Amino acid sequence: MSYVIKLECSRCHRAYEPSENPVMCESGDMGRLDIYYDYERMKEILTRKTLGERRETDVWRWRELLPVDEDFAVRLGEGGTPLLRAERLGEKYDISNLYLKDETRNPTASFKDRSMAISVAKAREIGVRMAVTASSGNAAAALAAYAARAGMTVLAFVLHTASDAKVAQLKLYGAKVVKVKGVERGKDPTVEMMLEAVRRYGLYPSPSFGPFNPYQVEGPKTISYELAMDLDWVEYGWLLAPTGSGCLAAGLWKGLRDLVELDLVSWYPRLVPVQPEGNSPLARAIMDGLDFTEIEPEGSPRTIATGLSDPYPWDGDAAMEGVRRTGGRAAIVGDDEIVDAMKDLARYEGVFAEPSGSAAVAAAKKLREDGVIDRGDRVVALVTGSGLKDLAFTSRILGSTLEVGMEIKKLGEIVDQLLGNS
């Protein structure tokens, strides 16, 4: 049974019936078709008790809050990721209650599985055979995996900066991959190519940007639900998210709002979208108090966090609303701070993240140093993508590896040195 009441364009406010299964606003205004639910009818079913008793741990645990019937679900074990209490890292950063939501543990090793599980389920419902996407790599990899399982074909336009590992992953899942040259004058050519494929050939658009597919936005909101449940529905202070297009932050905000609408909680954590210095149009706009319509795309993004290099924050409007309504703020971190966070995550907590996936942790450290976050605050940082996504990068930031023969004498030196260091 669907609880969706309507879809409504975030720009021109044109409303659509759920049965129309719209994907983009017909007026071509690049608005996002926000999905509205009947919370009153859901309230009887969705209580802390009934939700706690459900046996599923994947995103379908929240089926009433999803825009597709569960019968169309394509499952790979998306969602239900661990929330790790980071004691050692918390001590290093002087944050006594630091938590990591480990999204690297999703089936294709990034949080995008949540989005694409929903998008592909919707595609199955509509009867789509071929999807097209524009991506820095992770969303495309997620789409390719779910599409493979659903027997759908995928055409993926990825930025030429996408790591070899991400491209290889995509190809192994059977997607047709096309690398596209970088962003020019603020225009993302992967998006332009994708839109042409939609206009000319009627392919189903499935990037992780709301204006081109409203269904996938509903995936990341399940992170907010899981966090509330895993923290025993008790209020926490901060929710930090690596941000590129703003779709993740928009989804988190939607999830936080849903929880309040359903009377499951009566609080919001402060939402913090985190962007890298080399591509921070959304974060800068928030810091400067600008309106969404005043955002200028980044001319040519430059950052090691390639997953956060969208020159234009397509879902920035909803992300900005989330920041405003939760009393949050934006954060900008340098590439060097991201590398440090990546090393800290691995060395202090055993979590292997890619640069894009480490940005929120870098921001937690920075906001604590700046006195914005207090020592006792409960802080959740999302770790959104696995380090296995770009091993070449990790190798580059590490020193050379010692190589020996059968040199027992050396062994003593090595152990002594290690003991001396420990």
Ligand X SMILES: Cc1ncc(COP(=O)(O)O)c(C=O)c1O
Closest to ligand X by CB, 264 vs 391, is 391
Closest to Zn ion by CB, 100 vs 191, is 191
- What residues line the site for ligand X (CB under 6 A)? 110, 136, 138-139, 208, 242-248, 307-308, 310, 354, 356-357, 384-385
Rounded least distance, CB 29 to Zn ion, Å = 4
- Beta-bridge partners for 386: 353
Residue 29 interacts, among Zn ion, ligand X, none and using kind-specific CB cut-offs from 5 to 8 Å, with Zn ion
Closest to ligand X by CB, 191 vs 308, is 308
Q: What is the dihedral of CA 310, 312, 315, 318, to 10 degrees?
A: 120
Closest to ligand X by CB, 269 vs 355, is 355
Which candidate, 229, 202, 44, 9, places its Cα nearest to that of 123?
Answer: 202
Rounded least distance, CB 314 to Zn ion, Å = 14
Nearest-angstrom CA–CA distance, 74 and 65? 17
Rounded least distance, CB 136 to ligand X, Å = 5
Rounded least distance, CB 80 to ligand X, Å = 18
Closest to ligand X by CB, 354 vs 377, is 354
Task: Using the Cα atoms of residue 37, residue 9, residue 217 and residue 286 in order, give the sign of their dihedral.
Answer: negative
Q: How many residues bind Zn ion (CB under 5 A)?
A: 7
Rounded least distance, CB 100 to ligand X, Å = 14
Residue 309 interacts, among ligand X, Zn ion, none and using kind-specific CB cut-offs from 5 to 8 Å, with none
Angle at 17 between CA 217 and CA 117, to 5 degrees: 30
Residue 31 interacts, among ligand X, Zn ion, none and using kind-specific CB cut-offs from 5 to 8 Å, with Zn ion
- Both tokens of 390, joined, read 């770009």
Residue 27 interacts, among ligand X, Zn ion, none and using kind-specific CB cut-offs from 5 to 8 Å, with Zn ion
Residue 205 interacts, among Zn ion, ligand X, none and using kind-specific CB cut-offs from 5 to 8 Å, with none
CB atoms within 10 A of CB 118: 30
Closest to ligand X by CB, 131 vs 265, is 131
Cα–Cα distances in angstroms (integers) from residue 377 to residues 129, 236, 374, 380, in the given order:
48, 7, 5, 10
Closest to ligand X by CB, 113 vs 354, is 354
Rounded least distance, CB 16 to Zn ion, Å = 10
- Show the site string, 6-25: x = touches Zn ion by CB under 5 A, - = not: ---x-xx------------x
Residue 353 interacts, among Zn ion, ligand X, none and using kind-specific CB cut-offs from 5 to 8 Å, with none
Rounded least distance, CB 7 to Zn ion, Å = 10
Residue 123 interacts, among ligand X, Zn ion, none and using kind-specific CB cut-offs from 5 to 8 Å, with none
Q: How many CA atoms lie within 13 Å of 261's alpha carbon, on the beta-carbon side?
A: 15
Burial class (CB in 10 A: 0-12, 13-18, 19+), 342: buried
Closest to Zn ion by CB, 11 vs 176, is 11
Rounded least distance, CB 340 to ligand X, Å = 17
Closest to ligand X by CB, 197 vs 361, is 361
- Show the site string, 143-172: x = touches Zn ion by CB under 5 A, - = not: ------------------------------
Which residues lie below 8 Å from residue 320, measured CB to CB, with a gap of 6+?
282, 285, 286, 292
Residue 356 interacts, among ligand X, Zn ion, none and using kind-specific CB cut-offs from 5 to 8 Å, with ligand X
Which residues contact Zn ion by CB under 5 A? 9, 11-12, 25, 27, 29, 31
